Amino acid sequence: MKKYSLTSELGQFFVLTSNVMGIGIMGFLLYSLLTLNWVALILCTFFAVMHFIKFFRNTIRFKNLYFDDEFVYYEEQKIPLNKILRIDEKKIVYDEMGHQGNLYFNYFFCEKIKLLNERHMSAIRSK
């Protein structure tokens, strides 16, 4: 069976660019702290907080997910498609021995989400 990746190369590039921007913001923050430039310190702190809220706290939870006709694969584990409760734009909610688990995936430029939804619906119908 062919495995499809839920993460696109463009989405991975977006995450890499976001992380580089975060490192750059932290570098400017340290520089403004060393030079005691208060205006730059306030602005860099503001940008660092906004970057953390918007990008970093989401991208740190991303998993590289793959799927085929029967399973969703991540980190040496696999989840049957009929155990998946819900597929949102940003996460997959699944049932794991009585409690709900969440898998967050890189939703930037995600092209295969429609295919995963189709496979999920067909797995539920055949159940």
Q: H or E element: which one contains 103?
A: strand 99-105
State the pTM of this model: 0.68
Digit-coded pLDDT (tens) for 26-73: 999 899 989 988 998 899 999 899 888 877 777 777 778 888 888 888
* pLDDT at residue number 127: 66
Rounded CA gap, 89 and 108, in Å?
10
Q: Where are the domains of the chain?
A: 1-127
Of residues 46, 120, 45, the one with CA closest to residue 84: 120
Judge contact between 103 and 42, C-beta under 8 A: no
Digit-coded pLDDT (tens) for 106-125: 777 677 888 888 888 888 88
Q: Do you know the residue count of the chain?
A: 127
